[in-house]
Amino acid sequence: MDDSGTLADFLRAARSRLTPADVGLPTSHTAVRRVPGLRRDEVAQLAGVSVDYYARMEQGRVTQASDAVVNSLASVLRINETERTYLFSLLSASTGGRAQNRRRTEKVRPSLRGIVDSLTGSPAFVLGVGMDVLAMNDLARALIKDFGVHTGLERSLARWTFLDPAARSFYLEWGTVAADVAAMLRKDARSHPNDRALNELIGELTVKSDEFRTWWANHRVYECTFGTKRFVHPLVGRIDVDCETFAVPGEPDQQLFVYSTRPGSSSDDALRILASWRAEDGAAAIGALPH
């Protein structure tokens, strides 16, 4: 990965998303504007650095800066905490401005698999690098898809989101979800710049999805922590879930996702019906086995 090019693209994309009004500049600054968003001189002024210094950053000629400068830039550009960490990894002198380049871990500990399987009333799954689905419980398979029957890139939730038509129908707000997925892959690409499978996934999505190309070029960085997800399941209809994400101790590239519904809600009823159908299908399959 070319860190200087990545830094330049990130800074340009971040300032292009802002307007002078967003950062409190007077309206006189908006009279004649040749570029979208903030100009370089405006970012430099607000961050307390020289225009030449900031311009050299966007030209890839500055690869390290003090933490004070990085913090100032992050505040000016109004980036989220995940993007702030990302900017530090690109530019901070304290980290050497180097990518972490970790090696992915695909094996899920038996104890974690046991926890996932024990959550019978909640869809639960573990994601790894490239949003690879490393483990799922039965209810997650019934709600989304059984990724366990696939290998390679087809095991990626990100690939399914962009390339499978079923995903567009499944996510009620597909555009929002897909944009976040692209931003999550951007985070993985920073910590695993030489990961062959991840680069192959990003390359495939770039070639096959116009939307992915657009969102990838925005250089957003995102980490899913909690929130609400809205689905339209082909069998039980609309399901709204609360999502909580948990870091896996000892495995920095793995995250446990757990979905829950509010007791007594229509979504809770739909999820219970789905669980019942899943259990009946499993019992039928066991009954069909030779004795």
Digit-coded pLDDT (tens) for 7-51: 889 999 999 988 888 888 776 554 566 667 898 999 999 999 999
DSSP 2: -
**Lowest-pLDDT range of 122-126, 152-156, 280-284:** 280-284
Joined together, the tokens standing for residue 21 give 């009004």
Contacts 24+ apart (CB under 8 A), 249-252: 251/105, 251/109, 252/102
- The residue behind tokens 């695909």 is 106
Q: Cα–Cα distance between 68 and 74 in angstroms, integer? A: 10
Give the rounded percent of residues in the chain with a pLDDT score beyond 70: 87
Tell me, what's the pLDDT at 284? 40
> Cα torsion at 174, 179, 182, 186 (round to 10°)?
-160
Q: 110-287, which class in CATH?
A: alpha beta
pLDDT at 62 over 90: no
Per-range mean pLDDT, top range of 105-109, 134-138, 273-277:
134-138
Q: Does the domain spanning 3-91 belong to CATH 1.10.260.40?
A: yes
Joined together, the tokens standing for residue 247 give 């870091």
Q: By three-state DSSP, how is residue 168 classified?
A: helix
pTM of the model as a whole: 0.81
Give the rounded percent of residues in the chain with a pLDDT score beyond 90: 64
Domain boundaries, the chain: 3-91, 110-287
3-91 and 110-287 have identical folds: no
Q: Cα–Cα distance between 180 and 10 in angstroms, integer? A: 16
Dihedrals phi, psi of 268, to nearest 5 degrees:
-65, -40
**Lowest-pLDDT range of 76-80, 86-90, 284-288:** 284-288
Cα 96 to the center of its chain, rounded Å: 25
> What's the pLDDT tens digit per position in 149-173?
999 999 999 999 999 999 999 999 9
Tell me, what's the pLDDT at 132? 97
> What's the pLDDT tens digit per position in 242-267?
999 999 998 989 999 999 999 999 99
pLDDT at 286 over 90: no
Tell me, what's the pLDDT at 272? 93
Tell me, what's the pLDDT at 3? 61
Can you list the positions of beta strands (E) in 118-179? Answer: 124-127, 133-136
